[in-house]
Amino acid sequence: MRAMQTETIDFAEVQSRWRELIAMARAGTEVLITDGGKPLARLIPVAAPRTVPRTPGLHPGAIRTSDDFDAPLADDFWSPRA
């Protein structure tokens, strides 16, 4: 996996360069927005949707449900804690 490229921009420039910043994020560049040199926000590309379908049953026995998982909870569970 290769590291994501990062571009830093001051908050004062964001409005005039918004389309450019969106295009950069679409291309895979992280945009770090700063205010006076301090990090303020990050604009990152959205992860690509999963293309491989999930397959049930790949790890049988990895998850176990207890026999009482649907049993009523004790009354003190519902009481506010001090």
Between 72 and 51, residue with greater pLDDT: 72
pTM beyond 0.85, yes or no:
no
DSSP state of 71: S
> Residue ranges of the domains in the chain?
1-46
Superfamily of 1-46 according to CATH: YefM-like domain (3.40.1620.10)
Interior CA angle at 46 toward 42 and 47, to 5°? 125
| Pick from 28, 26, 22, 21: nearest CA to 4 | 28
Region 56-82 average pLDDT: 86
Residue type, 75: D
Q: What is the pLDDT of residue 79?
A: 83
Q: What is the pLDDT of residue 82?
A: 60
Tell me the per-residue pLDDT of 9-45, one tens digit each, with 9 for 90 and over. 999 999 999 999 999 999 999 999 999 999 999 999 8
